[in-house]
Chains A and B, each alone.
Chain A
Amino acid sequence: DAGVIQSPRHEVTEMGQEVTLRCKPISGHNSLFWYRQTMMRGLELLIYFNNNVPIDDSGMPEDRFSAKMPNASFSTLKIQPSEPRDSAVYFCASSFPDRGNSPLHFGNGTRLTVT
């Protein structure tokens, strides 16, 4: 079990640039979540997919943020254009809710710094 894999681990970019964060969920998991963590706001749920379909994106802060899940093994979170206030650690998590009380399994995150 390789766990949830996120890339890159660190990303430093300049304001205005496009940023793409990637996530590979655990094989067989059909729910995928994107979270953002900052010191001020803690862990915030941005968007949630079930069977590759976005179910709730109410946590996505602005139209600059978009997420896709083209297949069961890959998801991206894109910020365009990026701003300094987007600096945070972005976590991806997956689960298998069809199997009853499947907990969330998190990746180790992408630390984004926008200068």
Chain B
Amino acid sequence: DAKTTQPTSMDCAEGRAANLPCNHSTISGNEYVYWYRQIHSQGPQYIIHGLKNNETNEMASLIITEDRKSSTLILPHATLRDTAVYYCIVGVPNAGNMLTFGGGTRLMVKP
């Protein structure tokens, strides 16, 4: 059973903001939202995570709705190197960080 739902693919113009949505309507109160990405031929890379507040780091921003049933990952100025598969995952940190990866969104940044 998938805990998250993401679009299969998205396109974004280079230099523009990439907004990647994720639905997690069955999220539990103690589950966090994690985002990873996987660039071709590499291992998944951690991007950001949050519980209920919006979060920002040097890579991206994470916007979580008030009811926590959905979130959006924002790459403010997408570059060609941001082309990757982006995974939205929910999980409980202290449960051994066991995270189940779904199909993700394939983001293609175009010049």
Residues of A participating in the B interface, judged by any CB pair closer than 8 Å: 4, 31, 33, 35, 42-43, 45, 48, 50, 55-56, 91, 93, 95, 97, 100-109
Kindly supply a per-residue 1/0 record for chain B positions 73-110, scoring 1 wherever the CB is within 8 Å of any chain A CB and 0 otherwise.
00000000000000100000110111111111000000
Chain A minimum-CB-distance residue to B32: A101
Count the B residues whose beta carbon is within 8 Å of the partner chain — how many?
22
Q: How far is the CB of A101 from chain B (nearest CB, A)?
A: 4
Contact of A4 among B34, B36, B43, B102 (CB under 8 A): B43
How many inter-chain residue pairs (CB < 8 Å) link A and B? 57
Q: Which of A45, A56, A97, A101 has the most CB of B within 10 A?
A: A101
Q: How far is the CB of B106 from chain A (nearest CB, A)?
A: 12
- Interface segment out of the listed B9-17, B21-29, B44-52, B64-72: B44-52
- Interface SS, B side: loop
Asked if residues B98 and A45 are in contact (CB atoms below 8 Å), the reply is yes
Report chain B residues within 8 Å CB of A105. Answer: 46
Q: How far is the CB of B108 from chain A (nearest CB, A)?
A: 18
Asked if residues A95 and B43 are in contact (CB atoms below 8 Å), the reply is no
- Known contacts being A4-B43, A43-B44, is A104 close to B99, with CB within 8 Å? yes
Q: How far is the CB of A52 from chain B (nearest CB, A)?
A: 13
Report chain B residues within 8 Å CB of A33. Answer: 97-98
Distance, CA A108 to CA B41, complexed state (A): 7
Asked if residues B43 and A31 are in contact (CB atoms below 8 Å), the reply is no
Report chain B residues within 8 Å CB of A42. Answer: 101-104
Asked if residues A50 and B96 are in contact (CB atoms below 8 Å), the reply is yes
